[in-house]
Amino acid sequence: MRYEFEIIDVADSTNSLLKKRAKSEVEGKALIANRQTAGKGRLGRSFYSPGGCGLYMSILLKPHITPKDSLLITTCAAVSVCEAIEMLSGKSAGIKWVNDVFIGGKKVCGILTESAISGGRLEYAVLGIGVNLYDCGFPDDIKDIAGAVFDGEPNGLEMRDKMAKAICERFFDYYERLIEKRFLDEYRRRCIAVGKQIMVLKNGTERYATALEITDSFALSVEYEDKTREKLSSGEVSIRLK
C-alpha cells in the first residue's frame, strides 16, 4: 500500500490535526510535526514532544474492519516500531501491553489510535506514534521512566526521517493483511509484562496480579492474588510493572 509523508513545523497534536482532515485525505497520509505543543497519550495523558528530539507522526487509515478489531492497529504498530528501532539502533525493544515500547526499562515510544465509527464499522482511524529519539532533558514527572532510542546529542532530522520510513515500511506490510494477525507471535515474544507481577488500575482501583499471557485477541490474561483470573481489554485498564 502507498503512503505519503507531509512534514509541518508545529502542531498542537498531529492526531488532532489529521482527524480534522480525515474525510478529505486519502488513506496512507502520514503527518509529521517537528514539535507538538499538546501531544496526546493514552487515557488523557500528555506526550512530551520537543523540537529536534523525536518522531511525532500520525497516519490516516481507512481499514475495512469492525471496531472490536481496532486493537489490531495499535498492536501492529507496536511490533513495527520495535522492528524499526532494532534495525536502526541495534538495541532490543520490548512492548509493555498494550501500546508502549521500552528499551532497557525505559519508555521510548507511545502509541495512540483514535477512530470514528459509522454504521458499525470504522470510518477511519488515526494512528499516532511518538518516539523519543534523543534525550533532550525530560520533565521531572517523567524523567525516571522516559528514555531515548539513541545516545548522544540530536543528529538533525536525518534519523527522524529514517525512523518514520522504517516504521511505515513494516507497518504497511502487516497492515495489508491485518486480520491475519501475522504479528501476533512477535507481539507475544516482545511483551515485557508476561510472567511478571503487575499493578492493574481499573475503575479507580488498584490490584496486584500476575500477567499470564497475551490472548489471540491481544487481551492480557492476568491472575489476581486471590487466584481469580481476568482477561483485560486495553480500553478499560492501565498496568504498571512492579
- pLDDT grade, residue 201 (50/70/90)? confident
Phi, psi dihedrals of residue 75, rounded to the nearest 5°: -70, -35
| Residues 53-106 pLDDT 10s | 999 999 999 999 988 899 999 999 999 999 999 999 999 999 999 999 999 999
> What does the pLDDT read at residue 182?
98
State yes or no: pLDDT of 234 exceeds 80. Answer: no
Which class for 88: exposed (0-12), middle (13-18), buried (19 or more C-beta within 10 A)? middle
- From 43-57, 163-177, 188-202, 204-218, the region with the lowest mean pLDDT: 43-57
Query: pLDDT tens for residues 140-177?
Result: 888 899 999 999 888 778 999 999 999 999 999 999 99
Q: Which pLDDT belongs to residue 68?
A: 86
CA atoms within 13 A of residue 141's CA, in its CB half-sphere: 4
Helices 158-175 and 71-89 sit at what angle, rounded to 10 degrees?
A: 140
Residue-wise pLDDT for 5-54, tens only, equals 999 999 999 999 999 999 999 999 999 999 999 787 765 577 888 888 99
Check if the beta carbon of residue 68 is closer than 8 Å to that of residue 51: no
From the options 3.30.750.24, 3.40.309.10, 3.20.20.140, 3.30.930.10, give the CATH code of 4-190: 3.30.930.10
Give residue limits of the domains in the chain: 4-190, 197-241
What pLDDT is stored for residue 49 in this prediction? 83
CA 22 to chain centre: 20
pLDDT category at 242 given cuts 50, 70, 90 is low
User: What pLDDT was estimated at residue 232?
Assistant: 92
Residue range 197-241, CATH number: 2.30.30.100
191, exposed or middle or buried, with CB in 10 Å at 0-12, 13-18, 19+?
buried
Strands (E), the chain: 4-11, 29-36, 54-61, 94-96, 100-103, 106-118, 121-132, 197-202, 205-214, 220-224, 229-232, 237-241
Q: Per-residue pLDDT tens for 107-138? A: 999 999 999 998 878 899 999 999 999 998 88
Provide the residue type at 113 as one letter.
T
